[in-house]
Amino acid sequence: MGDGARFVGFVVNDRVASLAELAADHGEGDLANAPSVLALLETWSTSEPALGRLATKVSGEEGRWYALSELHTHPAVNLPRQVFCTGANYRKHVVDLTVDAKIGPDGLDEAGLRRWAEAMMDERLANGEPYAFTKPVSAVSGAFDPLVLPVTTIKPDWELELAVVIGRGGYQIPRGQALDHVAGYTIVNDISARDLIPRTDYKMLGTDWLRSKGQPGFLPLGPYLVPKVFVPDPHRLQMRLTVSGQVMQDETTADMLFSIERQIEYISRYSRLLPGDVICTGSPAGNGTHYNRYLRDGDVMEAEIEGLGRQRQICVAQQHG
């Protein structure tokens, strides 16, 4: 706002107004008193219908509306309670990684290795399970905040992902009821320090997700939380990411191995989901490892998912000292 105060924004056609002001004007008192998006999610069973009623009453011409460019955009959920990430969840992405790293049986040429990796993905989908881990909420940043490239890594990489926002918590949620727990969707970019993923001091430890994915700013989230009613099929969304004008990722969520329902079922089998949690559902093919090209000082990274808006970050090298 003009006074710099943070507020929950209500978005219509990329124009933003204060939810509290609109709700007060139109008799939706519960919404008027919500101090944050997280507060809305904690009472999503009543917030969702109230937001629907409000949407039918307002238009972009009434009241005080802002262009998104006039505002500082905070994370769409500020801050999530828990962040879960589903790794290796896009078929072509995993196949490309396998081929690029030349991991597989000896004696195979590139075409043979690709066929072997594709068969492995078919077997995993038929008989395997999702692979999930957590990411610290301190990594969350706004959709337009600069991305500081830390001195700890020389291979900072991008991973555009569809994020699921939980509106109703639960434990051991059946797959058939999973979407009942979803409030909506947003965009995340699971920034990853590729050179910090493997542990080399004691290789049996395997991967180190804390240092590779948990650094400040490594999860731009937003700009919007789009209620699920506006996303008829989250498994058919176009995804696109560019780095300094070059298209790096251009895929759809249809290439997901394990569906959103399957991911919710799996994660909630072991962890209790809470309102305000975010599940990052995996990234499609086209990461920096595929191009041997990583983020550099001055890069401009732009990412979009169909119907969910667009992110834009300028990469800035962290200063020593």
- Summarised one tens digit per residue, pLDDT across range 151-162 is 999 999 999 999
- More reliable by pLDDT, 107 or 177: 177
What integer pLDDT is reported at residue 60 of this predicted model?
55
pLDDT at 1 over 90: no
Instruction: Assess contact for 239 and 249: CB atoms under 8 A.
Output: yes
**pLDDT score of 6:** 92
Determine the 3-state secondary structure of 12 from DSSP: strand
Q: Which residue reads 């298209």 in tokens?
A: 247
Q: How confident is the model at residue 3 (pLDDT cuts 50, 70, 90)?
A: low
Percent above pLDDT 90 for the chain = 87
In the 3-class helix/strand/coil scheme, how is 106-134 assigned residue by residue? CCCCHHHHHHHHHHHHHHHHHHCCCEEEE
Task: Average the pLDDT over 85-108 and give the result.
Answer: 90
pLDDT digits (tens, 9 = 90+) for 287-321: 999 999 999 999 999 999 999 999 999 999 998 76
What local confidence, expressed as pLDDT, does residue 214 receive? 98
Per-residue confidence (pLDDT) for residue 4, from 0 to 100: 78
At residue 136, the pLDDT reads 98
Beta-carbon contacts of 145 under 8 Å, excluding residues fewer than 6 positions away, are 217, 220, 313
Q: Is the pLDDT of residue 62 over 70?
A: no
User: Would you give the DSSP letter of residue 229?
Assistant: G
Token pair 């650094």 is found at 215
Task: Indicate the domain borders of the chain.
Answer: 9-70, 83-89+130-317, 91-129
CATH 2.160.20.10 assigned to 83-89+130-317: no
Instruction: Return the exposure string of 119-152: e unless at least 16 CB atoms fall within 10 Å of the residue's CB, then b.
Output: eebeebeeeeebbbeebbbebbbbbbbebbbbee
Residue 98 in this model has a pLDDT that exceeds 90 = no
**Per-residue pLDDT tens digits for 168-184:** 999 999 999 999 999 99
Q: Render pLDDT for 285-295 as a digit per residue (tens, 0 to 9).
A: 999 999 999 99
Please give the radius of gyration of the chain, using alpha carbons only, rounded to the nearest integer: 20
Q: How far apart are CA 284 and CA 30, in angstroms?
A: 39
What per-residue confidence (pLDDT) applies to 99?
86
What are the φ and ψ backbone dihedral angles of 87, each rounded to 5 degrees? -90, 160
Tell whether the model's pLDDT for residue 185 goes beyond 80: yes
Q: Which of 94, 103, 99, 102 is nearest to 123 (CA)?
A: 94
Cβ-proximal residues to 41 (8 Å cutoff; 6+ apart), any chain:
47, 77, 165, 166, 167, 183, 275, 276
pLDDT, averaged across the chain: 94
Calculate helix-pair angle for 91-101, 110-127, nearest 10 degrees: 140
Those residues with Cβ within 8 angstroms of residue 143's Cβ, 6 or more apart along the chain or in another chain: 73, 75, 76, 187, 220, 221, 222, 223, 309, 310, 311, 312, 313
Distance CA 180, CA 174 (A): 10
Give counts: helices (H), strands (E), the chain: 9, 18
pLDDT of 312: 98
Instruction: Give mean pLDDT, residues 86-98.
Output: 91
Region 257-279: what's the mean pLDDT?
A: 98
Q: Beta strand pairing status for 83-87 and 278-280?
A: parallel
Q: Which residues contact 315 (CB under 8 A, 6 or more apart)?
A: 146, 147, 149, 156, 295, 296, 297, 298, 299, 300, 301
Q: Are strands 83-87 and 66-67 parallel, antiparallel or unpaired?
A: unpaired
Q: What's residue 213's pLDDT? A: 98
Mapped onto helix, strand or coil, the DSSP state of residue 73 is coil
Residue 7 has pLDDT above 80, yes or no: yes
Percent of the chain past pLDDT 70, that is, above it, reads 97
